[in-house]
Amino acid sequence: MRIWIIAPGSRAKRLRIVILLAVCAMLGPVPSIGSDNTLPDMVKGRQEAMKAMANAGKTIAGMFEGKLPYDAPAFKRAAETIRAHSGAALMAEFPAASLGPPSAAKHEIDQSRDEFDALARKVASFASVISASADKAPDGITPEMRMGAGMSTMGSSLLGKRKIAAGEEDISKLPAEHAFHLMLQDCSACHAKFREKIQ
């Protein structure tokens, strides 16, 4: 297991790299919606949901990085978009009959349903933390929203499994930036295991 420690001088640079990799993994190669009329409506619908989540993630990342001006309502809408499309909604979008070609969703989803569902719920929980933080910060990103120096993220890699460390079980207490970082790791882990790469 690798533990990344974000040192004060490298925190911003390391976070930019991690966010970039994770958002790229979220966006990934998604088949063009509407380019294949043989795709079932359910597959097209979940592709739209994934695209909405990826765009929302880019908005949040842009505000954390200072590439987009902070706008509390837009920040909250982006987090709520991710929350609405994850959790139970995400679990319902992947029934066994819809897995495999022509979808990029692997059959492993059904074979590892508990793991898939747990990741979907975790993403929703992290998105809720991010959303709630906007209510407390109407004018700008506060120090309480930031991931502090020395805070670690745990996992075998960005695309590997991550375990919540002791003391982090109550994710509602996490800074929004840390919750966002961990949410992206869970998105990436889910895609790494459960999505076929489209050439």
Domain ranges within the chain, ordered by starting residue: 2-194
Mean pLDDT computed over 101-110: 94
Higher pLDDT, 95 or 153: 95
Query: Does the structure show a pLDDT above 60 at 62?
Result: yes
Q: What is the pLDDT of residue 199?
A: 58
Higher pLDDT, 182 or 29: 182
Report whether CATH 3.50.50.60 matches the domain 2-194.
no
The helix (run of H) or strand (run of E) holding residue 64 is helix 41-65
Q: What is the pLDDT of residue 38?
A: 55
Report the alpha-carbon distance of residue 151 to residue 170 in Å, rounded.
16
Q: What is the pLDDT of residue 185?
A: 96
Q: What is the pLDDT of residue 147?
A: 87
Q: Which residues, at least 6 apart from 124, have a Cβ–Cβ distance to it below 8 Å?
A: 82, 83, 86, 87, 88, 90
Q: C-alpha distances in angstroms, 175 versus 47, 68, 77, 195?
A: 30, 20, 18, 29
Report the alpha-carbon distance of residue 16 to residue 22 in Å, rounded.
10
Mean pLDDT computed over 13-20: 50
Query: Does the structure show a pLDDT above 80 at 187?
Result: yes
Dihedral of the alpha carbons of 74, 94, 183, 154, in degrees to the nearest 10? -170
What residue type is 132 in one-letter code? Answer: A
